[in-house]
Amino acid sequence: AQKITQTQPGMFVQEKEAVTLDCTYDTSDQSYGLFWYKQPSSGEMIFLIYQGSYDEQNATEGRYSLNFQKARKSANLVISASQLGDSAMYFCAMRELMKTSYDKVIFGPGTSLSVIP
C-alpha cells in the first residue's frame, strides 16, 4: 500500500508567487518524521525541511514552510516568492520508527514544479 501520496504530478507557478505542493501520508505510528527534498534536473537530492510528528509548530526554513495537519495526515510544502531556480522535482518522505533498529524512509512519487518567468 502506498504510504506517501503526492497528487500533483506537475505544477506551474509564476515567478514571485507562492505555491503549495501537497503531500498526504499513511501511518499508524505515533512517532514519525516528515521530510521534503528537492531534485533539480542534475539529479542530486537536496534536503529542504523537516517536521516531527510531535512538533506543535509548523517548520520553516527560509522561503520554505511546512503546513502540517496531523489529524488529516497531510504535510504540504509551501514555497514563497518562487524563483526560476525552484524548478525541480519535489519529494515528500516519511521516516517511520520500526520495531527493529532501522527507521524506514518512504518516498512519495514526486511533484514536478515549473516556475514561469
Partner 1 sequence: DGGITQSPKYLFRKEGQNVTLSCEQNLNHDAMYWYRQDPGQGLRLIYYSQIVNDFQKGDIAEGYSVSREKKESFPLTVTSAQKNPTAFYLCASSLRIWGDNQPQHFGDGTRLSIL
Q: Work out whether 91 is an interface residue with partner 1 (CB under 8 A).
A: yes
3-state secondary structure of 117: coil
Where is 84: in which H helix or E strand? none
Q: x/- string (CB under 8 A) for partner 1, residues 19-48?
A: ------------xxx-x-x----xxxxxx-
Closer to partner 1 by CB, 62 or 109: give it: 109
How far apart are the C-alpha atoms of 15 and 88, rounded to whole Å? 14
Cβ 98 to partner 1 shortest distance, Å: 8
Measured CA distances, 49 to 76, 93, 99, 115 (Å): 11, 11, 25, 20
Closer to partner 1 by CB, 36 or 115: give it: 36
Instruction: Give, as ranges, the residues between 46 and 85 that touch partner 1 (CB under 8 A).
Output: 46-47, 50, 52-53
Q: Are 95 and 31 in contact (CB under 8 A)?
A: no
What residues line the site for partner 1 (CB under 8 A)?
A: 4, 9, 31-33, 35, 37, 42-47, 50, 52-53, 91, 95, 97, 101-105, 107-110
